């Protein structure tokens, strides 16, 4: 697979290219919101896997999730 194809297949890049998100951060947030069940299932799979803590935190999905935090969700509880 060429690098161009892998970029075009990236769901975050697709949100940017389609104009559904104005910037990478917004695209990541939108991806996480729209795919919450799949993201959580994948995170649980990674937690149960053989990755060290450092490897886990470097995984692209985990890094994306950690970069967006849960502040909006926490604020909505108040």
What per-residue confidence (pLDDT) applies to 10?
93
What gap in Å lies between CA 31 and CA 25, rounded to an integer? 10
| Mean pLDDT computed over 3-26 | 89
Where along the chain do its domains lie?
3-77
Count of residues making up the chain: 78
What does the pLDDT look like over 21-54, one tens digit per residue? 999 999 999 999 999 999 999 999 999 999 999 9
Report residue 71's pLDDT band, with 50, 70 and 90 as the boundaries: low
Rounded (10°) CA dihedral 41, 47, 51, 53: 130
What per-residue confidence (pLDDT) applies to 7?
81
Q: Dump strand ranges (E) for 1-78.
A: none
- Tokens of residue 71, six digits: 């502040």
């Amino acid at each position: 697979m060429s690098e161009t194809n892998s970029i075009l297949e990236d769901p975050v890049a697709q949100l940017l290219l389609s104009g559904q998100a104005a910037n990478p951060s917004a695209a990541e947030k939108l991806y996480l919101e729209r795919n919450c069940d799949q993201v959580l299932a994948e995170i649980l799979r990674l937690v149960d896997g053989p990755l060290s803590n450092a490897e886990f935190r470097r995984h692209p999905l985990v890094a994306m999730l950690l970069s967006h935090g849960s502040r909006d969700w926490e604020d909505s509880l108040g």
